[in-house]
Structure 1
Amino acid sequence: MPASSNPDAAHGRPPGLESLMPGNAMEGLDESTWVDVIQKMDEVYSQLIDDEIELEKKNAELEQSQQFILSVLSAMSDVLLVCNERGVIEETNAALCELVGRAEADLHGTSFYDLLADSVSVERARTVLDNTNPPRRGEGLELNLLDAQGQSVPVDANCTPRVGANGRRVGTVFVARPTAEIKRAYHELRSAHEALKRAQQQLLHSEKMASLGRLVAGVAHELNNPISFVLGNVHALSRYCDRLRQYVAAVHAGESSEQLEELRARLRIDHMLNDLPSLIEGTLEGAQRTANIVNGLKRFSAMDPEARVPVDLNEVIKRAIHWVGKGAAPSFQVKWQPGPPLTVTGSSGQLQQVLMNLLQNAQDAMTGNANAEKVVWIDTESAGNRVRLRLRDNGPGIAAEHLSHIFDPFFTTKPVGKGTGLGLSISYGIVEQHGGVLSASNHPGGGAEFLLELPVAS
């Protein structure tokens, strides 16, 4: 039949419906009934077409989802294995296939236990699979897998239960990573950390040497006094030794009493004997002062150990004032009254470096001050489990735009060649390592103020 002679085809109805038209109607059925039947069939047919289109759309989305999951599994560098409750492998990824040297199709349907290298790993995996009430977040364990060459490969696995629609466990998902990679990354991280610690310690020591270099003139003067004193006493002792040798030689030669008495008076033996104790005592005192100065310099310049010991902050302040004062201008004064012991836990040398940096920074800030007297005030107090130290100068203070950068590494307002910009930054790091806080502000009465807070030694 030609297409133009089939009106049903033009309306999207299936062919053959003309046989149901009223001309062939069964007796007892009127025309309106058949029209309703035909309309219902048209509706059903249209619904079938819509359902088919929707089904094709869902199938396309399902294929895209499957392709996405496959691409994710293929891109995973970690080993993935999915098995049922009996340990039969149901799904793997490319990383596992590459590790064990077997195709994915060969692994499906085989036992997970066949991939394990030793009985210990088998027992661990069996314990996880046999657990009827596993944690939903999974649990970790160490296993040894057999690689393509039959060698044991240690892996760190996370085992997560797979739950079905009925809420019951239907299998386990193993996600594992070879620990050799983790160990290598850990060793690299550890090496980098050790290198950073060494660099930090060298930087700390370099800044300490820079601070010590500023005190060379004062240290030389400090050493010159006792050494000169000792040198003068040694020369006097050398002359006394010559006189004693001459007098003892006369005694051994058997000189008469009159001659010995005359020689004794001429060599001033009695005066010399009376002067010897004070000369020896002065020499020992000068030598001891020299030794104390050298030990103090060694203690300050030495690389500090990692150990933390109880430290009296008063002693640290005293030593810092002493050394900074040796290299300071004569008009530089530090007003501080020692109070009760303030014991903190830390490194005496490092804390001394902090105080010296703060004092030297205050001294430099007051260099251009028009005041005739340059003063630094230090106040300490104990408040609960904290020790507070306030250090204030009568300099120009800190510019508002510099307050937020005052502890930044290499930040300095000094001319080129006058400062490294590391003193306050290193001091901040030292205080932080001691569990304390170092902050800076401008005092209402003028000048800069630094607040140092440290925990009291337990």
Structure 2
Amino acid sequence: MNLSFHKLTSRGMHVVTAVMVVTTIVFFVATVMVYNSTDNQRSMLAKKIHNSGWIVYQAQLEFLKATSRLRLTAVSPGPGEFDALKLRLELLRSRLPVLYESDEADLLPGLADYKRELQVFEQRLDGMIDALAQPNLFDVSGTEVFHEWDIELEPLGRLLQRVLLSSVSYNEATAQIEALLDANPARIPLLLLFASGGILVLILLAMERRVQMRLAEVMAGQATLQSMEASLLAVIQATPACVIVFDPKSEQVRFVNPTALAVVDAPLNDPDWKRLTRTARDVAVDTNGNPWGGITMTFSRRQGDVVSLRGSLCEVLWHGIPQALLVVADTSRIRHAELQVMQAAKLATLGEMATAIAHELNQPLAVIKMATANAARLVQSGAGQAVVQAKLERIQGQVDRAKRITDQVRRYARMPTDHSTGFSIRAALELAAGFVAEQYRAAGIHLLLRFNVSPDVTVMGEQTMFEQLIVNLLVNARDACESRPSAPLGHPPRVIVHCRAEDDRVIIEVDDNAGGIAPDILPHLFEAFTTTKPADKGTGLGLSLSRTVVRDMGGTISAANIADGARFTVDLPRLVVPAPEMAE
């Protein structure tokens, strides 16, 4: 196929070169024709120049005839002489406009400067002609009028003489140029023209050769590219990650590698493939609605087991067509280990909080004990039912309080799952803060919640793990406040939890005034086994696991020192809930 394409392209280049050569020859012929046309125009121009001298000569001749007739009439006046003089003056009058209105006259140099003078003499000649038409001219004026006319026309003779001399000089110069052109015909330009045409043909042939060489390089590059594509396809086939190419519009799967086939274990036309790609797109959708980015998801196979997948979804050109590329790895074992570590970290946190939880639980138990003793004493003393009922309601309230504490412990200790759902960010923060509120009260630390979000602002993730993340940050802040030797005067220990929505993001900030983080620890704070706590109080995994939780939610977590403490910032993508469609 490549050889045929090469032959076809080479043949096309020959055709193009031939067409260009023929076009050049046509241009040569056209140039010769233009040259001949120009030569003819030059000849016509020479004739016009010759004629321009002739019209000046005729005007000068008519002037001489008119003045001669004028003098004869002055010597022997009579009706016949008057008519002859009138005819001569009319002929002279008709010659003057030709000097500046004809095409030939335009070729005479400087004639435009004499136009005004000629027009003055035209008016004077018109007056003479009108006077000759009067029958009593001779009786009134005598012959003196003709002498006056002769004197008035003398400047016209001098003017025509100047024009004639200018025309003769111009015609002589033109004749010399024509003689020079006739003696040296335009053969050299034609030879140069054909020589340049030949050079152009050689250039075209050289260009064809260069294009042929370039085409050979392109064909070699194409062969190399095909070889690289084959090698890349072999690498994709052998990679241990699942590689799936599908059409984002029709969700039709175009390509899968053996690893993906082993994970899904179904033919390409099976609905499980569309279910997998659709789930990946739902998880990877960012706040702008673009289905691209990192993903962490689970997939239920037809065998009944669930696999954890982590990877990314992006747009690629597959055989020149825009397609979606899904690359995920089966992280079931790794994910299971992460969940186990998270669970261990939660249980470790519960162990640290056991004393505070027991103290918090003892408070409602003590109240219940006192209320039951009082109720029994009231019953023995025969108190009224309303008094006993009040004691029982107090007992019920304390039971509810104890139940809330145990529910919080049970909720926090529950094994995390891999299923992401949308949840209210405000509700999750309130649950996490409520879990540690008693410890803060016992330690004398102010815990302030400053939320600038409505309850319907949601994010996507596993709510229990997110709550563990916030609890971990609050516990770290509490420990930092307790480990500070002494707080500045007028600044009691306090921790503030901020939450706000910024366009398509949700920002959570946990601020404390415990003095900040050591500069040498700050760059490594989210690395595993990094801790500033004693060995019996910390494992160094809390913040590392927190970063994993935030990453799985598509967000980021960072730490920085502020004026009198530290600030941890969690940046999460806001879940955009599509508006319900209006019924028609």
Compare CA radii of gyration and give the structure with the larger one.
2
Give the alignment's TM-score, normalised by structure 2.
Answer: 0.40
Give the alignment's TM-score, normalised by structure 1.
Answer: 0.50
Name whichever structure is richer in helix by fraction.
2
